[in-house]
Amino acid sequence: MKTEKDYDFVVVSNRLPVDRVVPANGEAFWKHSPGGLVTALEPVMRASAGAWIGWAGQPDLEFEPFYSDGIQIVPVPLSASDIENYYEGFSNDSIWPLYHDVIASPSYHREWWESYVAVNQRFANAAVEIAAQGAVVWVQDYQLQLVPRMLRLARPDLTIGFFNHIPFPPYGIYSQLPWRTQIVEGLLGADVVGFQRVADASNFSRAVRRLTGYVTKYPNIEVPAYDGGAPRRVLAKAFPISIDSQSFEELARRPEIQARAREIRDGLGNPKTVMLGVDRLDYTKGIGHRLKAFGELLEEGRLTVEDVTLVQVASPSRERVQAYMQLRDEIELTVGRINGDFGTMSHTAISYHHHGYPREEMVALYLASDIMLVTALRDGMNLVAKEYVASRFDNDGVLILSEFTGASDELRRSLRINPHDIDGLKDAIVQAIDMPRVERQRRMRAMRNLVLRNNVDRWSAGFLDALRGVGQLGQPDDDDDPLGDLEWTVERIRHR
Ligand code: GDG
């Protein structure tokens, strides 16, 4: 390992990009987990002495830093109590439901908050220890919102970025949070605070104005210096995340994956239409709404199980959090009812899978499906929608996409739906089934152009460019945003 304070580019995220695998009778080893973020950041890491700080995924274990595929990995230990309070508690039972428009009720507990502060400090300290003078530190996501300020206080020489993968809620909702000012101040320690959608960035700016009175002009926020010097300018704007589009297309073009897609359709009894849902089993994903729409279409005889099958992959998630246990029961009860009511000896209505699958199998499923159903009630981006599009090199398939996802800002040629409007959702399903091939292809082609161009490399390059730019810019970044200009003027008058 290099000596301390030697890393020019440091990523800090709750989870490391490696998993520790412990075989039943063998020695534990580290497995690289090839998520989109890792794929996008690997080249940057390799080119510029990079390190990744995060939790290894197992409680009460301490690991020495090590190299994995050219990345310096720096594990941060979490105890069972940290996991209960900081992770399952404050992150996943306070912030997650609050930031997703209180679809489920957030719980607030002071001991969870205390643990969140302590664990954030631990992650910040790890970065303080290894970041070189003037290094770039990029902090990821809602579990670590206090880290930017902690870093700036300890190491004013650093350039600090933060990216929020989930939505940032409107002020009326955000203001519930007992620690709302501390979180906003925590984020404002960064030079660039990135969000998925313009709406998230403007919700954040509004929260800043309301809670701190700092002057904002989208996408800039003027923040007083901690040492009483000249104010800093923080850039808070949208950087919609994407996927490694080319690798999805490349997988989809493999003959063995196409053969597997045909096998999947055969296994389902070759219905005319295969519909697909792929989600972590999470209450934000609107799985119940999609089941309700499908169940009603079968009940009304507008669809039959001989013609249409729904494949639902619900990958296990946060299984120790109460709301997730309850959701699983509800979904599985509904699936059982629909299958019991409408299934025949030869055809099931819903092919339901509570598993995670290898990426190859996911791509085969994308290819095997005529319709992809994304009915999230609120979703930062929704990568599944983009993966479906990237995989369809045949320019076929229809994407039904909730307007409450970040992806719907870009994928305008999908069939955009409001998942709360069950009749509208049912009509969209029928429209997708009946859509002529020419129209399917026209829509898919347009969406593919976009997803292949705006891939995750472009996303990370855009964010890092903005981050490198902040130190040097003399002028505010003037995005063409008339509402922002108006707010800026109003704020100016107020601050006179
Ligand atoms: C958060 C935000 C934002 C799922 N099941 C399997 C599997 N997956 C993969 C999908 C996709 C990823 O997991 C899920 O990404 P999403 O974007 O759909 O949703 P979240 O997990 O909630 O992610 C979200 C994202 O962060 C990125 O910023 O878009 O809004 O909530 O890549 O393919 N992959 C495999 N097997 C599975 O069974 N291999």
Q: What is the identity of the amino acid at 411?
A: L
Measured from the Cα of 406, ligand 1's closest atom is 30
309 near 397, Cβ under 8 Å?
no
pLDDT of residue 404: 98
pTM for the structure as a whole: 0.92
In this structure, the residue with its CA closest to atom 39 of ligand 1 is 359
β-strand pairing of 192-195 with 159-163: parallel
Ranges of each domain in the chain: 7-241+456-494, 245-453
HEC letters along 132-192:
EEEEEEEEECHHHCCHHHHHHHHCCCCEEEEECCCCCCCHHHHCCCCCHHHHHHHHCCCCE
- Going by the DSSP 8-state scheme, the letter that residue 476 receives in this structure is -
Model pLDDT for residues 321-371, shown as the tens digit of each residue: 888 999 999 999 999 999 999 999 999 999 999 998 999 999 999 999 999
Decide: 68 and 51 in contact? Cβ < 8 Å: no
Q: Is the CB of 54 under 6 A from ligand 1?
A: no
Ligand 1 geometric centre to CA of 411 (Å): 17
Q: Among candidates 57, 439, 406, which has minimal Cα distance to 243? A: 406
Q: Which two tokens stand for residue 303?
A: 């669809």
Contact criterion met (CB below 8 Å) for 149 and 117: no
Q: Please identify, by atom number, the ligand 1 atom nearest to the C-alpha of residue 356.
A: 38
Is ligand 1 within 6 A of the CB of residue 241? yes
Residue of 381, 402, 451 to test ligand 1 pocket, by largest number of atoms within 8 Å of CB:
381
In order of 69, 258, 387, 492, the CA distances from 39 in angstroms are 11, 24, 14, 43
What values do phi and psi take at 138, rounded to 5? -115, 110
Pairing of strands 18-21, 159-163: unpaired
pLDDT for position 3? 54
- Across 284-397, the runs of DSSP E, i.e. the strands, are 308-315, 350-353, 371-374
User: Rounded to whole angstroms, how far apart are CA atoms 469 and 463?
Assistant: 10
Per the rule left: phi > 0, alpha: psi between -120 and 50, beta: everything else, 213 is left
Q: Decide: 224 in ligand 1 pocket, CB within 6 A.
A: no
Residue among 81, 101, 225 nearest 152 (CA) = 225
pLDDT of residue 2: 54
383 lines ligand 1 (CB under 6 A): yes
What does the DSSP assignment read for 39-96? HHHHHHHHHTTEEEEEE-SSTT-----EEETTEEEEE----HHHIIIIIIIIIIIIIH
Whether 324 and 209 have beta carbons less than 8 Å apart is answered as no
- 339 Cβ below 6 A of ligand 1: no
Ligand 1 center to 36 CA (angstroms): 10
**CA dist 42 → 52, 141, 231, 279 (Å):** 10, 18, 34, 26
9 vs 75: CA distance, rounded Å: 16
Task: Give pLDDT tens digits along the chain (496 positions).
Answer: 555 678 999 999 999 988 888 888 888 888 877 666 777 787 778 777 799 999 998 899 899 999 888 789 999 999 999 999 999 999 999 999 999 999 999 999 999 999 999 999 999 999 999 999 999 999 999 999 999 999 999 999 999 999 999 999 999 999 999 999 999 999 999 999 999 999 999 999 999 999 999 999 999 999 999 888 889 999 999 999 999 999 999 999 999 999 999 999 999 999 999 999 999 999 999 999 999 999 999 999 999 999 999 999 999 988 888 889 999 999 999 999 999 999 999 999 999 999 989 999 999 999 999 999 999 999 999 999 999 999 999 999 999 999 999 999 999 999 999 999 999 999 999 999 999 999 999 999 999 999 999 999 999 999 999 998 875 433 344 443 332 333 322 232 223 2
**Which of 201, 185, 97 has its CA nearest to residue 147?**
185
Does domain 245-453 bear CATH number 2.40.10.340?
A: no
Is CATH 3.40.50.2000 what the domain over 7-241+456-494 is classified as, yes or no?
yes
List the one residue out of 163, 154, 155, 162 whose CA is nearest residue 135.
Answer: 155
- Apex CA 465: angle with CA 237 and CA 448, to 5°? 75
How much distance in Å is there from the Cα of 117 to the middle of ligand 1? 27
CB contact at 8 A, 323 and 367 = no
- The CA distance from 390 to 383, in Å, is 10
